[in-house]
Structure 1
Amino acid sequence: MDDNEPGRRVARDVAGTGGLDGLQRLSAAIEALEERRTELVEELRRGRQATWEEIGRACGLTRQGATRRWADRLRARSFGLAVDSYQHGRPGYPQALIGSAVPREARRVLELGAGTGKLTRMLVDAGLDVVAVEPDPGMRDRLAAAVPKAAVRAGTAERIPLPDESVDAVVVAQAWHWFDQAAAVPEIARVLAPGGTLALVWNVRDETEPWAAELGALMHRSARQRIDTAPVPPAPFGPPERLEIRWEHPTTPAGIVDLVASRSYVIALPEAERARLLAEVEQLLTTHPALAGRDGIAMPYLTRCTRVRLG
C-alpha cells in the first residue's frame, strides 16, 4: 500500500463531493492536523524522546527543515512551563508608556500575547475596555485571575477571535518576535477600526550598568535570542513613531533568578545546564560589589515602543 494512502483516504472523506464546502472542510481539517502535529513535536522534544533528525524524518523533512519549522514556535509555547518564574521575575512597564502606546481617543484595546497580565492590568487601570488574547492555557489562567476586568480569550496573533474592525488599538508587549508576521499583520489590520493603531513594546535590560552587563553575559553564554526592538511593520501600516523610556524595576535577588529562569532559551536548556546557569546567577548576586548583601535591587531597563497607524 502507498504510504500516503491512509492520508489520501481521509482527505477524500473530509472533502466529500468537493466544491467550496469541501474545500472549506478540508482546510479546517488541515489546520487541525497541523496543530496536532505541532503538539506531538512539542511532546517529543520536551520529553527528549526524539531528536530533530528523527522528527524531520517522520515528517518528510530534513533535520534543518524540522528545526526551522518548529523550534521557534516551541520556544514561544514554553512559557507555560515557567509561569511562576515569569510572574515573579518579569518586570511591569513604566506608567508613561500607556499614553504613548494607546492613543487618547482609543476606547477598546486588544492585547496580543498578554502573558500573565503585566501590561493588561495597566491598560484596565487606565479605564480602557481590554480584550487580552493569550495562547498558553497556564499563562491565560494566571492572567484571568490577576486581571478579572479584562476579557481574556484563547487565541493567537495569526487567528484573532474578534470580528472585523472591533478594536481601536492593538498592543503587543514582549511578543511580536514570536508571531508569524505574514499571517499576523493582515489579522491585526482586520480587527482594527479604520485609523487604529498597533503598538509594539519591549523591555530591554540597560547593560550600560556593569553588573547588568555581567548578568547578560551569563544568560547569553549558552544561547542568545536576537530581537529587533525597533521593527518597521509592513503595509497596510504607516511610518513608525518611536519612544524610549529609561527606568528602574525594583526587585530582589530571587526576582532576578526568576527573571533568568523565565527566558525561553533558558527554559529550553537541559536540566543540568539550566541548574548550573541559575547557580552562577545566584553567585553573581551574592558576590558582585554592587549587589552583595542587598535585599532590594533596582534593575535598569529601557522600554522601547514602536507605534504605527493603520492605513
Structure 2
Amino acid sequence: MSGRALSFGVMAETYERFRPGYPVELFDMVMAYAAQPVRTALEIGAGTGKATRLFAERGVAVTATEPDRAMLTELRKHVPTHVRTVQAAFEDLRPGKRYGLVYAAAALHWTNPEDRWSRMASLVEPGGVFASFGGPIELADLAVAQTVCAARSPFLARDDVPSPDGTPPEAEMQWPGTELQRSEWFTDVQQAVIERRFTLTADDYIGHLSTISAYLVLPDAEREQVFSRIMGVLPETVEMIADVTVHFARRHREP
C-alpha cells in the first residue's frame, strides 16, 4: 500500500469534518441493484465511516475494515454500536465468511491490483453484490479552478488520483467498471452517477484540500505555503461539483 494511501490517519478528525457523507439515494440504488434483501456487508477502506453510517443505520450488519488505526478510532465515534470494526488492509483479509454486499467508498484505488478481483470474489456470496463509489470534488467555476491550479503549480502539478488503469475521463465506462468487465468473477457490470453540488467557504475549501493525499504527503512547510497561495486567490465562497460515480457488479453464482 502506498504512502499516499496511508497518509490520512494523521488528519482523521479533519477528514471527518471536511469530507462529505453519502446520500440516501446511494443506499436505495445499491438495494435496487441487489434486487434481494442485503443483510451483511463488508466495507473496504472505511476511513472515518462516512459510508458505514449509510448502510449500518438502515439495518445492514456492516463489518468495516480500515488499515489506519487513527481513522478507525474516529470511525468508532460516529457509527452505530453494532458495526464490527477490523484494522486491516484489503490485502490482509482472508477468505472465510462471505457477505451479501462488499463495497468500497473512495478507497478501491488504494488497493493492490494484483489478484484484486479473485480476492474480492472470495468475500462476496454467490449472487451477491460488489459496489464501488466515489469521485473527485472539484471547483465548478473553470476560471477559479485555473487560478487555483496556477497557485499550487510550484508545489503540485496535479492533486487528483488518475484512473488506475488509464481509462480516459471521456470514456463511457470508467474504472473500476473497466476491470470488472474483464473479470471472470463478476457479471452484470453497471455504472451510474448521482449528481451533487454544494457551496463551501474559502476556509472550508482549504480544509477539504487538507484531507487530499497529494497535499498530505508534502513537507509541512510546503503544505503551508501552497495553502496560503491558494487562499490568496479564492473568492469568499466556491461552488463545488461532487458527483458520486457508482459501479455495481454481481458475483457469479457457483454451480
**Does the 8 Å CA contact 1:101/1:171 hold for their aligned counterparts?**
no
Structure 1 unmatched ranges of 5 or more: 1-71
Within 2, Cα distance between the matches of 1:162 and 1:129?
18
Within 2, Cα distance between the matches of 1:220 and 1:97?
33
**Does the 8 Å CA contact 1:94/1:247 hold for their aligned counterparts?**
no
Cα distance change on mapping 1:109 and 1:218 into 2, 3 Å: farther
Match of 1:172 among 101, 104, 118: 104
- The alpha carbon displacement at 1:177 in A equals 0.8
Alignment of 1:94-133 (within 5 A): 94-102=23-31, 103-104=34-35, 105-133=37-65
CA shift digits 1:79-120 (9 cap, x unpaired): 112212211111112221112234252111111100001111
Question: Greater relative contact order (Cα 8 A, min sep 6): structure 1 or 2?
Answer: 2
Within 2, Cα distance between the matches of 1:212 and 1:96?
30
- Specify which structure has the higher proportion of helix: 1
> Partner of 2:91: helix, strand, or coil?
coil
Alignment of 1:211-222 (within 5 A): 213-214=145-146, 217=149, 221=153, 222=156
Pair 1:151 & 2:87 matched: no
Q: Which residue of 1 aligns with 2:5?
A: 76
Cα distance change on mapping 1:143 and 1:83 into 2, 3 Å: same
- Specify which structure has the higher proportion of strand: 2
Match of 2:135 among 170, 186, 203: 203
Match of 1:272 among 212, 221, 224: 221
Q: Which residue of 2 aligns with 1:307?
A: 248
Within 2, Cα distance between the matches of 1:208 and 1:187?
37
Alignment of 1:221-260 (within 5 A): 221=153, 222-224=156-158, 225-227=161-163, 230-231=175-176, 232=178, 233=180, 234-249=183-198, 251-260=200-209
TM-score (normalised: structure 2) = 0.81
Q: Which residue of 1 aligns with 2:167?
A: none
> Partner of 2:101: helix, strand, or coil?
strand
Pair 1:87 & 2:11 matched: no
> Partner of 1:76: helix, strand, or coil?
coil
Q: Which amino acid aligns with 2:84?
A: A
Cα distance change on mapping 1:140 and 1:122 into 2, 3 Å: same
Pair 1:262 & 2:198 matched: no
Within 2, Cα distance between the matches of 1:215 and 1:141?
37
Q: Which amino acid aligns with 2:85?
A: V
Within 1, Cα distance between the matches of 2:210 and 2:175?
25
> Partner of 1:200: helix, strand, or coil?
strand
Aligned length: 231
**Does the 8 Å CA contact 2:38/2:101 hold for their aligned counterparts?**
yes
- The alpha carbon displacement at 1:301 in A equals 1.2
Q: Which residue of 2 aligns with 1:163?
A: 96
> Partner of 1:254: helix, strand, or coil?
helix
- The alpha carbon displacement at 1:161 in A equals 5.6
Cα distance change on mapping 1:158 and 1:218 into 2, 3 Å: farther
Over the aligned positions, Cα root-mean-square deviation in angstroms equals: 2.3
> Partner of 1:182: helix, strand, or coil?
coil
Q: Which amino acid aligns with 2:196?
A: W
**Does the 8 Å CA contact 1:205/1:212 hold for their aligned counterparts?**
no
- The alpha carbon displacement at 1:139 in A equals 0.2
Within 2, Cα distance between the matches of 1:258 and 1:162?
38
Cα distance change on mapping 1:117 and 1:220 into 2, 3 Å: farther
- The alpha carbon displacement at 1:219 in A equals 8.2
Larger CA Rg, structure 1 vs 2:
1
Within 2, Cα distance between the matches of 1:123 and 1:215?
38
Percentage of identical aligned residues? 26
> Partner of 2:223: helix, strand, or coil?
helix
Match of 1:136 among 48, 68, 89: 68
**Does the 8 Å CA contact 2:137/2:242 hold for their aligned counterparts?**
yes
- The alpha carbon displacement at 1:272 in A equals 1.9
Pair 1:181 & 2:113 matched: yes
TM-score (normalised: structure 1) = 0.67
CA shift digits 1:112-149 (9 cap, x unpaired): 10000111111112221111100000000001111133
CA shift digits 1:165-184 (9 cap, x unpaired): 2x101110111111012233
Cα distance change on mapping 1:129 and 1:219 into 2, 3 Å: farther
